[in-house]
Amino acid sequence: MLNLALSDTPDGGYRLGTVVHIIGDTHAGKSLLALHLMAEASINKKLKDYDLIYEEPESAMFFPVKKMFGEEAERRIKFIPTMAERRKGPRTVQKWHDDLLAHAVPFVWVTDSFDALTSEEDLSTITADGKKKKLGKGGFRVEKPIVAKQLFPKMVGRIEASQSIFMWISQTIKNIGVTFGPSETFAGGSAITFFRAYEIWLAVVERIYIKVRGKDREVGAWVRARIKKNKFTAKVKEVTFPVYPYPYGYGIDDVGAMVGWMVEEGYWEEENKDKKKGKKGKYSFTWKR
């Protein structure tokens, strides 16, 4: 469904040579969406010479990649920073900048998430005048947007020429005190807004439950992907799809998303009329000609 929304073709999706920006709430499937991108890239013969880099400064990647996506995905996806690098300290925005510029192309690179990067200034305990820095007084809120703004003009040409893909993942942030304009934003400043080909906002719209021993158990969620920017179709679209995190499922249920779309658009008719909101069970459908 997301492929259709992005490219108007079922075999499309993210175009090579582009910057993709994913912004989303907690538990909205941002990491799973990125892993699906990596898994597809790992078995795509056209991308057999690409490096697949999953940058994960959050230290929260516990998905069993082999079990969920297969041996080829486990073999080809390189997760950074390594455990040895993590022991040395948190990943900085400066290291992110330098590694992206130094890495050979072509690649598919995911940064999950930019919010988790710190900065050299923030790690410093001494101010410029030699005084001990007070807790909470750091420069990362200024330094991170500056470094990002420096990176993109240097990178976008290489990304396009090498037909690489760079995916930047952001957490949604409430726009406190804003009367007009969007109620949510993201960290990192406006640098990426000028260079991204896709801007996709993810949000949980409905929980999925199954009944186990007479009790409702939450096993996943329907996620809305709102495409606010698409340089290639210029269409603002919105699709929904079920996400089943491990161990309840194995990621994004594309078949379930297509069935849901067929029902919503009136091509199929749901025969079970007694379903409750949030309780997706087994239903039969009839084709409406």
Quick check: 239 pLDDT over 60?
yes
Residues 143-167 pLDDT 10s: 889 999 999 999 999 999 999 999 9
- Mean of the pLDDT values across residues 168-175? 90
CATH code for the domain in which residue 118 is found: 3.40.50.300
* Cα separation, 198 vs 14, whole angstroms: 8
Bigger pLDDT: 60 or 158? Answer: 158
pLDDT at 174 over 60: yes
Percent pLDDT > 90 in the chain is 63
Report d(CA 222, CA 219) in Å as an integer.
11
Query: What pTM did the predictor assign?
Result: 0.87
User: What is the domain count for the chain?
Assistant: 1
Determine, yes or no, domain membership for 67. Answer: yes
Domain with 118, as residue range(s), is 2-203
Give 83-92's long-range contacts (Cβ < 8 A, gap of 24+).
86/59, 89/123, 90/57, 90/118, 90/123, 91/55, 91/57, 91/116, 91/117, 91/118, 92/117, 92/118, 92/119, 92/120, 92/123
Q: Is residue 259 part of a domain?
A: no
What is residue 289's predicted lDDT score, i.e. its pLDDT?
45
The predicted pLDDT at position 135 comes to 55
pLDDT at 122: 79
pLDDT score of 181 more than 90: no
* Model confidence at 131: pLDDT above 80: no
Structural domain includes residue 187: yes
6 lies in a domain? yes
Question: Does 133 map to a domain?
Answer: yes
For residue 278, what pLDDT band results from cuts at 50, 70 and 90?
A: very low
Q: Is residue 99 part of a domain?
A: yes
pLDDT band at 226 (very low <50, low <70, confident <90, very high): very high
Residue 185: per-residue pLDDT: 84
Cα–Cα distance, 96 to 99 (Å, whole number): 5
